[in-house]
Amino acid sequence: MEHSGTWAHGRRGRDPRQMSMADAWPIETLPPQRIAHGDSASTTCRTASVQAMESAAHCGPSDAKRRAGAMGYHAGVSAEAQVAAHYQRSGRGIAARRWRGRSGEIDLIAREGDGLVFIEVKKSRDFARAAERVTPRQMQRICAAASEYLSDTPRGQLTDVRFDVALVNGRGEIDILENAFGA
């Protein structure tokens, strides 16, 4: 069967990681292939990966859940940007945003004099709901990630640190709980 340079994985000569779905063959043009389907008899289908895509489309998260997740992600990114701007206006520079180590992620890291402020940002309809979303387990992960971050700083574990929780409500107002993890 002769094709005009288009393959199931994309156009000939293009890096598959840089392709969009428009670059792939339409599903109906893929040649049929026999595959084993569990313990049942072999069935004819286009390819195993196409079958997996089709079944994932039927049992994966709904479009509404996917949109809600994307909205939540973007709301979180927006809240982090607001909080970063708040710290910068108060004269503290931002050392890192969304820093990720093996132990976890730290939303923001600000410089305060010779010390660092590790900031967890929580967004919700109101401040109380946002505050409820900071769990003890999450605090442990943030502390472990902060320790990991400090290992690459000049003073290491001797650096003065503080852990703040920045709450952002539905109207975009910010409430900073300074030294939220401290005694």
In a domain, 40, yes or no: no
CATH of the domain at 123: 3.40.1350.10
What is the per-residue pLDDT for 108? 98
Domain that holds residue 83: 76-177
Over its length of 183 residues, how does the chain's per-residue pLDDT go in tens digits?
Answer: 444 444 344 444 444 444 444 444 444 444 444 434 444 343 443 444 444 444 545 555 677 777 777 777 777 788 999 999 999 999 999 999 999 999 999 999 999 999 999 999 999 999 999 999 999 999 999 999 999 999 999 999 999 999 999 999 999 999 999 999 874
Q: What is the pTM of this model?
A: 0.64
In a domain, 64, yes or no: no
In a domain, 127, yes or no: yes
DSSP 2-55: --SSEETTEETTS-GGG--GGGSPPGGGSPPEEEEETTEEEEEES-HHHHHHHH
In a domain, 71, yes or no: no
- Domains contained in the chain, number: 1
Half-sphere exposure of 118 (CA within 13 A, CB side): 25
In a domain, 111, yes or no: yes
Token digits of residue 50:
């196409």
Q: Tokens 């969304």 map to which residue?
A: 98
In a domain, 26, yes or no: no
